[in-house]
Structure 1
Amino acid sequence: FFTTVAFAQSVEIGYPPNGASVPAGQDLTVQVVRPDTLTGSQEVAVVIGLASCTSQSCLPPNAVMGNILYNGPYNPQFQQPNLPPRPPYQNFSVAIPASWTKGAAQLNVAHFTLIGLGPFPFSETLS
């Protein structure tokens, strides 16, 4: 039961798309989407990191988050009612460090939430 409930609380990266190119020193909008669910939950936080993959293949985010671009509250909201329906999300404006090495990189997200009446803690990482 807990696996099904936890899966319903999972988030995804809505933006930027995979393969996007962002120059060093520029701001980037990262959209973290949480599909709508009937299970009660209390969002706690997300951490957004950027890991360089230029000298080796990218490690999974549960091994290395990389350079932390954001670490703080997560409060996904629905869009305004006159727009096409979408699941709740929150946009984060993060700065790519000016010293960032050009080449392949991986955007990583760690998500923390409390689920249900208990509540029980749930965490996940994704890229």
Structure 2
Amino acid sequence: MKYLFALAALVGSAFAQSAFIEAPAPGTDVTPGSNVTVTVWKPDSLTGSTDIAIVLSLQSCVGIAPAGTCDGFDASQDLGTILHYGPFDPEVEPPISLGFHENYTVTIPSSTPKGAAALLLTHLVLVGLGPYPLLDISNITLNVV
């Protein structure tokens, strides 16, 4: 039983270190060649961590998923076109620390086909006293018009 609790605590602390795309909202219409502000958000946690880097990328789902969706798309296998990569140094969200965020302005490639596209966030963080590396990938679906 104690091993199950330890495993649950480890999984919980790793999840608390994950970052997410807060904006734009899923389903947002974007135009090839336009700039989009991406807000990356990370919840506050009691577990110590050091954020290392993020990668923002865009993968068209046209022809690899059902029309109008990115269902079944495995983001860990193909990041698509890299829009931004570099350090992740989020600021505290005022007025109290519910989490941290950082904004990035990226350009939707002019060659992106119309239809659904996955905006991917790849986040590398060192967790705990060890520390151990955690690589998490999340995504939202945008509509390229």
Same-fold status (TM-score > 0.5): yes
Does 1:62 pair with 2:70?
A: no
Show structure 2 runs of 5+ residues with no match.
1-8, 140-145
Deviation at 1:86?
A: 4.6
CA distance in 1, matches of 2:104, 2:17: 19
What is the aligned partner in structure 1 of residue 61 from structure 2? 53
More strand by share: 2
Specify whether residues 17 and 88 from structure 1 end up closer, same or farther in structure 2 by C-alpha distance, changes over 3 A only.
same
Deviates more, 1:103-112 or 1:58-67: 58-67
Report SS of the residue matched to 1:6: helix
What is the aligned partner in structure 1 of residue 93 from structure 2? 79
The one-letter code matched in structure 2 to 1:15 is A
Tell me which stretches of 4 or more aligned residues in structure 1 moved more than 3 Å: none
CA distance in 2, matches of 1:98, 1:53: 16
More helix by share: 2
Pick the structure with greater CA Rg. 2
CA distance in 1, matches of 2:122, 2:80: 11
Deviation at 1:102?
A: 1.6
Is 2:44–2:97's contact at 8 Å kept on the other side of the alignment? no
The one-letter code matched in structure 2 to 1:5 is S
The one-letter code matched in structure 2 to 1:22 is V
Deviation at 1:97?
A: 1.1
What is the aligned partner in structure 1 of residue 43 from structure 2? 35
Across the aligned residues of Structure 1 and Structure 2, the Cα RMSD in angstroms comes to 1.5
CA distance in 2, matches of 1:108, 1:60: 11
Give the counterpart of 1:99 among 103, 108, 111: 111
Does 1:109 pair with 2:97?
A: no
Is 1:61–1:109's contact at 8 Å kept on the other side of the alignment? no
String of CA shifts for 1:72-106, please: whole Å, max 9, x gaps.
1101111344xx76521111110111222121111
TM-score, normalising length from structure 1? Answer: 0.91
String of CA shifts for 1:101-123, please: whole Å, max 9, x gaps.
12111111111000111111111
